[in-house]
Amino acid sequence: MNLHVNARVKSIVEIIGNTPLIRLRTVEQRAFDLEPDRHGGDDAPVEIWAKCEFQNPGGSVKDRAARQIITEALASGQLTEDKILIDSTSGNTGVAYSMIGAALGLRVALVMPANVSVARKNITQAYGTEIIYSSELEGSDGAIHLVRKLVAEQPDKYFFPDQYGNPANPNAHYLGTGSEIVAALGDRITHFTTGIGTTGTVIGTGRRLKEHRRDIQVVAIEPDDSLHGLEGLKHLPSSIVPKIWQPEGVIDRMLQMPTDEAWDAAERLVKEEGLFVGHSAGANVAGACQVAREAGPGAVVVTVLPDRGDRYFQPMKWERHYAW
């Protein structure tokens, strides 16, 4: 159930968060090599739940961090109408910044790798955002280097929130995602697992869950190789490590995820659960399946579905004319 039904709000910004949890029954069955059940059977020995972050108005989990970052920056006076918000992004945070910026009357510029999906480029530009491209060969780290250079050259022109180093990022998930999971499942949850990009989701959510009960296991998923195909996720050993990555006391385990396994999981989700989600969601669900299998009967595992699969499509060019 969407918790925003019948709500009355003043801005699209107010409907970020409170996303539903969905139980992944076919994934539960697969964890123990049972025949996938599409009809609501409860014979699986574990429960696997997924937070439907694609239900956010900007289409991804990044709406949460972007809202918290902008809200705190406006309150502190760091961000004003005279400055342009600029940050590096592989796409989803950029969409979130762009949507919120349009709603609040703020100017936004984004530094993106040139090979980011066409859909994300077009969506951000539709909001009126300026895009500055970094080298596709340098990935998200190249975008980080370029945005830092631009801000250093013109510090009075830009507000640089730095999603990789801003504590508002994990704070969004401490206040939102983690609290919502606790409210929904309470003491029943045994494990939480999700992929790492900026690392804000796993750190903030994990911190809130550990505060609720110390024995909840928090598992962080990363690609198993630096040359991976999981857009939005970071292979930490070969990347710039985000400042907000503070795993001590929060992260119990790292889980390496092969690209093919994540892609296969995403394909099964759309065919067996009707969930058309991105490959990072596939990585998260494949990881949750492995964690549930290893934990055994009685485990209640929660993960995240960060965005929709259609964000990875290449749409037709948007033409502003009509044929009657």
pLDDT tens digits along 211-234: 999 999 999 999 999 989 888 898
CA distances from 313 to 29, 120, 264, 277 (A): 30, 9, 17, 12
Q: What is the DSSP code (8-state) at residue 60? A: B
Q: For residue 306, give the CATH number of its domain.
A: 3.40.50.1100
What average pLDDT score do residues 247-258 get? 97
Reported as a single tens digit per residue, the pLDDT across 10-60 is: 999 999 999 999 999 999 999 988 766 665 556 789 999 999 999 999 999
In a domain, 4, yes or no: no
Please report which confidence band the pLDDT of residue 298 belongs to, taking 50, 70 and 90 as the band edges: very high
Percent of the chain with pLDDT over 70: 91
Same domain, 244 and 209: yes
For residue 6, is it within any domain?
no
Place of tokens 């596709």: 136
Torsion of CA 258, 263, 264, 270, to 10 degrees: 150
pLDDT at residue number 310: 84
Read off the pTM.
0.90
269 & 190 share domain: yes
3 lies in some domain? no
Q: For residue 73, tell me if it sits in a domain.
A: yes
Q: Are residues 175 and 98 in the same domain?
A: no
Does residue 108 sit in the same domain as residue 84?
A: yes
Same domain, 152 and 174: no
Strand runs labelled E in the chain: 21-23, 47-52, 84-88, 107-113, 130-134, 158-159, 191-195, 217-223, 253-257, 300-305
User: Which of these three, 140, 159, 178, is where a domain ends?
Assistant: 159
| In-domain check, residue 192 | yes
Shared-domain flag, residues 277 and 228: yes
pLDDT, mean of residues 91-120 = 91
Both 85 and 42 in one domain: the answer is no
Strand partners, 133: 112
Same domain, 176 and 202: yes
Instruction: Give the E-state strand segments of 171-298 in sequence order.
Output: 191-195, 217-223, 253-257
Pick the closest to residue 266 from 31, 202, 51, 274 (CA basis): 274
Q: Are residues 176 and 48 in the same domain?
A: yes
Same domain, 199 and 227: yes
Same domain membership, residue 100 and residue 234: no
Residues in the chain: 324
- Domain termination site, one of 107, 126, 159: 159
How many whole angstroms separate alpha carbon 239 and alpha carbon 249? 22
How many separate domains does the chain show? 2
Listing from the earlier edge strand, what are the strands of the sheet with 21-23?
A: 21-23, 47-52, 300-305, 191-195, 217-223, 253-257
Residue 98 has pLDDT above 50, yes or no: yes
In a domain, 75, yes or no: yes
pLDDT digits 0-9 by tens, 271-281: 999 999 999 99
The average confidence (pLDDT) of the chain is 91
Residues 176 and 52 in one domain: yes
97 within some domain: yes
Domain end call among 159, 186, 203 = 159
Q: Which domain holds residue 151?
A: 62-159
Ramachandran angles phi, psi of 310, nearest 5°: -70, -10
Q: Is residue 323 part of a domain?
A: no
